[in-house]
């Protein structure tokens, strides 16, 4: 990982520490400005990594919505790919199958490609882990750049986005979801644990 | 009383599937869940990567006490596409002639840490016996027992109907042929009624219908003309050679004349009626070649869907067993 | 064990019980005094008599020992299922002082040697009187006559081909004529082999749903008609063992009205269970004849009430666990039923089908008449074969309470009402709770 992005992550963390005291229900940001910011950050990152001709894959459902926007604003040539990670989840033994599955669709070969993987919210990191596994079943990418609209506290795996629209601290029993497809908006929901 | 017992045996404490023994005892919502899950697996089958890791590390043993290449192969494919390890246990009659009881054989296999048994057996109730008395914590999938049930076949036929007709409400379904000996027919009748079709009919001579067949939830017909009138789906059953030897039918010729599905008899049904057959088909005995290969026939598609439906059943049952084990551990 | 039986032949008084003796039409509270294997007196004890052992029977019933027309003992040949010792002990606990064992042991009871074997073993270790039923044909193969004269002499009380078919009607007729020569009653398990072939459950909605090979009602009724008509011709006394259908009961009633010497018995469980009990492949309810429809059960109950069927038997068939731990059709049919014959029969009284004396009659006088016994019941000088039971006492059927080697009963885990408290055979206490 390039040094400047490590610094950025470090700065973000320290800002979080500063923020965490006494923060209750936060204002959820508008999505549109975040998308613009992410587009810029992503362009810079791709240049710095000398990535040419990447392909983009969005994770159903929210990640695919975000990916559609990014795909357009980056002007990528190849069509957008989508992944449904239902069969790669690690909690199958506990929760069983959820039958609302949309098929994964990768209209290009993965082998040797630079993949931009897009999701709406990263929290525990398990969804991204499942997406990695599924991608690698399709082939061997040259690299994966992870882009998420939102990063929320609660990592259970050491996975961090390369590009992130916004960082957020939430309380236990809260979740943030992306509503869409039009308009895209972040919503906070309470869930039973 | 039996439905409750069937339910308790096949479902875990959360109402999830953990053994798949027969359609009886399963509610419409669960059957629909199987069909929906099969939908997602059909799309997996159409992708470049046909495998998913759901059953990775799990051992599925095929115990086919009755020979069957077709069914066993589809189960094997289904399990492998779920990334399971598959054991084909070679059960010849010599195994039982060595005196080892079914119970002993299975308990030995259980000790070898199998997670799931797919069982086909000549005795009605054998999978029940295994699930209830021998290996309750191994997922048991019934691949056909005696004359009793063949639930995965029924579900793939239901999937076919839903895929091509869109829904079950309002459909008239005719099942034609040797209902007496057919476990597929029994499971299909139960599934069709549970899923809410308008009417299920059986069309056969009296010798090929079991006593009290109406109690299964069907209307009985003895002629194709009446039985197929208004039918949206026609399911033909296989006729076995030996039925002629045991005074159940005089000849294949007469059976074909009266109960075979030919272009003429197909006209009694609705013009867009589906033609189905659980296979293997006997051309010229139950069904005319032209009809089997004709525009209304979905016989080959049934085979395709069979893998996806079995993947659905295998993954749901394995997940139900795992969930139950977790529940038990948590409660300790 | 035999020594114990002889040793417990103390003189005995049973005080304060309600004596129901259908042999004499007696139903009253009266004391009984027993010594030397016989009844000494009813009511006041004889002068100078002092019982070594007294049983207080206040609020309890005293009646003649039950006579069971069909109970399998395991021995000879099927010792993994039971022995004469274990099963006659179970009989004693069930209140049975006299039972008939069918000829389908191994070896088959088709020679005097086998009869003597059974009788000797009973003398050594048996807790009740055992009367073997002889085989109608050699090896029960249904082709050659057995040596019926020798069997009679050796002590068989009847002949039967058990559940094995007779080759054809010609052979059957000849068997009947030969048996009639020696004044044998023919015990018949009515089943037409070709109609029943391969079946294991009553042909009806339950078997259809479970996909089990059926035994149609016609398999029994056709055999009943065939035997009735041939019996009419040959003059033999017929007894139908364990009928299962309402139509059979009707046919037998009609034949009785025509003056034919024909009797019948029913297994107690057939009067209470029906085809629904095999649902969910419950192999403990797998029996022969099969449990039939509720209408059949009702028909059998009516026949019992009317006396058309004059005897209730246990049709006891003990099995080892393995025999029932298989897919349904592969399990062996039969219920371990000696110890439940009383509580099951009492249910008929509770349900208003029979009164208590009539129930006792079906378990004593009825079977005695079938066997042609010259029993006088419980009177001075008669052999003291009787039991004391509590019709209200509850007990739970489980592997510990059952004495029989066979624990194969669908009533496992159920609470039964009606328990035997003491059984006396030939004046000796063979069972006491």
User: Using one digit for the tens of pLDDT, what is the confidence trace for B67-122?
Assistant: 888 899 999 999 999 999 999 887 765 455 466 788 888 888 777 789 999 999 99
Cross-chain residue pair C209–B121, CB shorter than 8 Å: no
Residues of C within 8 A of B126 (CB-CB) are: 327
Q: Which domains does chain C have, with CATH numbers?
A: 12-62+381-432 (2.30.40.10), 66-371 (3.20.20.140)
Respond yes or no: is residue C27 known to be catalytic: no
Helix/strand number for chain C, H first, E second: 14, 21
Q: What is the C-alpha to C-alpha distance for residues C193 and C199, in angstroms, rounded to an integer?
A: 10
Nearest CA in chain C to B146: C211
Q: What is the ipTM of this complex?
A: 0.89
3-class secondary-structure state, position A186: strand
Chain B touched by C213 (CB under 8 Å): yes
A168: its two tokens = 């957020």
Q: What is the C-alpha to C-alpha distance for residues C73 and A17, in angstroms, rounded to an integer?
A: 84
Distances, alpha carbon C407 to alpha carbons B184, B316, C241, C313, C417, in Å: 36, 38, 23, 18, 19
| Predicted local distance difference test score (pLDDT) of residue C314 | 98
Q: Do chains A and C touch (3 or more CB pairs under 8 A)?
A: no
Q: Do chains A and B touch (3 or more CB pairs under 8 A)?
A: yes
| Predicted local distance difference test score (pLDDT) of residue B3 | 57
Q: Which residue blocks in B169-251 are alpha helix, DSSP H?
A: 183-194, 224-228, 242-245
Of C214, C280, C327, the CB nearest to B123: C327
Nearest CA in chain A to B46: A103
What's the pLDDT tens digit per position in A98-149?
A: 766 677 889 999 999 999 999 999 999 999 999 999 999 889 999 999 999 9
Residues of B within 8 A of A86 (CB-CB) are: 40
Burial of A60 (0-12, 13-18, 19+ CB in 10 A): buried
Nearest CA in chain A to B83: A87
Mean pLDDT score, B110-136: 90
| Predicted local distance difference test score (pLDDT) of residue B4 | 64
What's the pLDDT tens digit per position in B174-227?
A: 999 999 999 999 999 999 999 999 999 999 999 999 999 999 999 999 999 999
In chain C the first and final C-alpha atoms are separated, in Å, by 17
Query: Any residues with CB less than 8 A from the CB of A66 and at least 6 apart, and which?
Result: A35, A58, A118, A119, A120, A147, A149, A178, A184
| Predicted local distance difference test score (pLDDT) of residue B94 | 45
| Predicted local distance difference test score (pLDDT) of residue A19 | 45
- Ranges of chain A with pLDDT below 70: 1-26, 99-101, 192-193
* DSSP, residue by residue, C66-120: EEES-B---TTT-TTT--HHHHHHHHHHHTEEEEEE-S-SSS-S-SHHHHHHHHH
Residues of B within 8 A of A106 (CB-CB) are: 48
Nearest CA in chain C to B6: C280
Cross-chain residue pair B40–A103, CB shorter than 8 Å: yes
3-class secondary-structure state, position B2: helix
Distances, alpha carbon C319 to alpha carbons C163, C286, C342, in Å: 17, 12, 21
Residue C405 · residue C87 · CB < 8 Å: yes
E-strand ranges in C208-294 read: 214-215, 237-240, 262-267
Q: Nearest C-alpha of chain C: how many angstroms from B119? A: 13
Q: Which domains does chain B have, with CATH numbers?
A: 3-148+304-331 (3.40.50.1370), 151-299 (3.40.50.1370)
Q: What is the C-alpha to C-alpha distance for residues C348 and C359, in angstroms, rounded to an integer?
A: 8
Mean pLDDT score, B39-50: 80
The CATH class given to the A3-190 domain equals alpha beta
Chain B touched by A86 (CB under 8 Å): yes
- Ranges of chain C with pLDDT below 50: 1-7
Residue B144 · residue B68 · CB < 8 Å: yes
Residues of A within 8 A of B33 (CB-CB) are: 99
Q: Which residue blocks in A49-176 are alpha helix, DSSP H?
A: 62-74, 92-95, 126-138
Mean pLDDT score, B53-77: 91
Domain spans in chain A, listed from the N-terminal domain onward: 3-190
Cross-chain residue pair B212–C204, CB shorter than 8 Å: yes
Cross-chain residue pair B103–C209, CB shorter than 8 Å: no
| Predicted local distance difference test score (pLDDT) of residue B131 | 93
Q: What strands lie across the sheet with C96-101, from one edge to the other?
A: C66-68, C96-101, C129-132
| Predicted local distance difference test score (pLDDT) of residue C5 | 42
C392: its two tokens = 């209200």
Query: Any residues with CB less than 8 A from the CB of C289 and at least 6 apart, and which?
Result: C189, C191, C215, C220, C242, C243, C244, C270
Q: What is the C-alpha to C-alpha distance for residues C425 and C51, in angstroms, rounded to an integer?
A: 17
B83: its two tokens = 């990334």
Chain B touched by A133 (CB under 8 Å): yes
Q: Percentage helix, strand, coil, to 5, in chain C? A: 35, 25, 40
Q: Whole-prediction pTM value?
A: 0.86
| Predicted local distance difference test score (pLDDT) of residue C8 | 54
Per-residue pLDDT at B15 exceeds 50: yes
């Amino acid at each position: 990982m390039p040094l400047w992005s490590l610094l950025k992550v470090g700065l973000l963390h320290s800002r979080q520490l500063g923020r965490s005291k006494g923060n209750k229900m936060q204002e959820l940001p508008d999505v549109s400005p975040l998308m613009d910011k992410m587009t810029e950050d992503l362009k810079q990152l791709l240049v710095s990594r000398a990535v040419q001709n990447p392909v983009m894959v969005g994770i159903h459902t929210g990640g695919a919505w975000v990916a559609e926007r990014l795909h357009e604003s980056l002007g990528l040539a190849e069509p957008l790919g989508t992944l449904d990670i239902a069969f790669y989840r690690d909690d199958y033994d506990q929760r069983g199958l959820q039958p609302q599955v949309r098929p994964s669709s990768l209209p290009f070969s993965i082998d040797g490609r630079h993949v931009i993987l897009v999701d709406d919210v990263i929290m525990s990191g398990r969804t991204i882990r499942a997406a990695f596994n599924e991608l690698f079943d399709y082939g061997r990418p040259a690299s994966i750049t992870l882009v998420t609209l939102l990063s929320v506290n609660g990592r259970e795996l050491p996975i961090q986005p390369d590009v992130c629209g916004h960082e957020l601290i939430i309380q236990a029993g809260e979740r943030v979801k992306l509503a869409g497809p039009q308009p895209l908006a972040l919503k906070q929901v309470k869930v039973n644990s | 009383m039996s439905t409750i017992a069937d339910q308790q045996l096949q479902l875990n404490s959360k109402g999830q599937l953990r053994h798949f023994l027969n359609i009886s005892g399963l509610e419409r919502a669960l059957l629909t869940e199987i069909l929906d899950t099969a939908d997602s697996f059909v799309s997996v089958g159409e992708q470049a990567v046909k495998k998913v890791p759901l059953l990775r590390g799990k051992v599925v043993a095929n115990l086919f006490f009755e020979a069957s290449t077709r069914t066993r192969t589809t189960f094997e494919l289904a399990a492998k596409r779920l990334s399971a390890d598959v054991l084909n246990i070679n059960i010849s009659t010599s195994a039982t002639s060595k005196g080892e009881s079914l119970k002993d054989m299975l308990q030995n296999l259980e000790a070898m840490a199998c997670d799931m048994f797919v069982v086909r057996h000549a005795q009605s109730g054998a999978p029940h016996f295994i699930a209830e008395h021998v290996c309750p914590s191994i997922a048991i999938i019934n691949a056909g027992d005696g004359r009793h049930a063949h639930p995965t076949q029924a579900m793939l036929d239901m999937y076919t109907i839903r895929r091509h007709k869109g829904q079950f409400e309002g459909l008239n379904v005719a099942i034609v042929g040797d209902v007496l000996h057919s476990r597929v027919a029994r499971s299909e009748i139960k599934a069709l009624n549970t899923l809410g079709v308008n009417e299920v009919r059986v069309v056969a001579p009296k010798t090929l219908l079991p006593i009290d067949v109406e109690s299964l939830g069907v209307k009985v017909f003895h002629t194709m003309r009446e039985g197929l009138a208004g039918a949206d789906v026609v399911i033909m059953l296989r006729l076995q050679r030996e039925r002629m030897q045991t005074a159940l039918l005089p000849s294949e010729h007469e059976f074909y004349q009266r109960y075979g599905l030919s272009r003429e008899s197909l006209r009694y049904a609705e013009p867009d009626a589906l033609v189905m057959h659980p296979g293997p088909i006997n051309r010229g005995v139950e069904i005319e070649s032209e009809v089997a290969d004709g525009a209304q026939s979905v016989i080959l598609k049934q085979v395709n869907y069979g893998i996806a439906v079995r993947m659905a059943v295998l993954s749901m049952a394995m997940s139900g067993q795992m969930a139950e084990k977790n529940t038990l551990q948590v409660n300790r | 064990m035999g020594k114990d039986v002889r040793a417990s032949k103390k003189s005995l008084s049973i005080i304060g019980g309600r004596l129901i003796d259908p042999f004499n039409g007696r139903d009253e509270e009266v004391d009984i005094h027993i010594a030397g294997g016989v009844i000494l007196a009813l009511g006041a004890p004889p002068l100078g008599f002092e019982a070594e052992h007294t049983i207080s029977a206040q609020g309890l019933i005293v009646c003649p020992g039950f006579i069971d027309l069909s109970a399998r003992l395991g021995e000879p040949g099927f010792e993994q299922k039971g022995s004469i010792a274990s099963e006659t002990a179970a009989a004693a606990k069930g209140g049975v002082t006299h039972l008939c064992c069918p000829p389908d042991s191994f070896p088959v009871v088709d020679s005097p040697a086998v009869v003597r074997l059974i009788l000797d073993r009973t003398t050594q270790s048996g807790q009740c009187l055992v009367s073997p039923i002889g085989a109608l044909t050699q090896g029960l193969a249904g082709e050659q006559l057995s040596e019926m004269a020798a069997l009679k002499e050796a002590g068989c009380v009847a002949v039967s081909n058990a559940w094995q078919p007779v080759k054809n009607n010609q052979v059957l007729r000849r068997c009947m004529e030969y048996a009639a020569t020696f004044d044998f009653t023919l015990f018949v398990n009515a089943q037409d082999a070709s109609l029943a072939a391969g079946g294991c459950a009553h042909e009806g909605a339950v078997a259809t749903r479970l996909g089990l090979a059926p035994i149609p009602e016609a398999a029994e009724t056709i055999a009943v008609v065939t035997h009735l008509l041939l019996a009419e011709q040959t003059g033999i006394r017929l007894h139908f063992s364990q009928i299962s259908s309402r139509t059979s009961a009707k046919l037998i009633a009609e034949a009785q009205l025509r003056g034919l010497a024909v009797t019948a018995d029913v297994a107690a469980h057939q009067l209470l269970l029906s085809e629904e009990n095999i649902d969910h492949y419950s192999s403990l309810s797998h029996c022969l004849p099969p449990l039939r429809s509720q209408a059949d059960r009702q028909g059998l109950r009516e026949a019992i009430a009317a006396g058309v069927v004059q005897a209730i038997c246990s049709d006891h068939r003990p099995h080892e666990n393995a025999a029932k731990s298989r897919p349904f059709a592969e399990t062996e049919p039969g219920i371990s039923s000696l110890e439940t014959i009383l509580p099951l029969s009492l249910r008929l009284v509770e349900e208003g089908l029979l009164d208590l004396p009539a129930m006792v009659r079906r378990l004593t006088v009825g079977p005695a008449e079938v066997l042609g016994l010259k029993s006088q019941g419980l009177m001075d000088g008669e052999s003291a074969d009787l039991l004391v039971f509590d019709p209200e006492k509850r007990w739970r059927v489980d592997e510990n309470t059952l004495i029989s080697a066979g624990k194969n009963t669908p009533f496992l885990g159920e609470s039964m009402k009606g328990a035997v408290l003491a059984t006396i055979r030939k004046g000796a206490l063979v069972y006491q709770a």
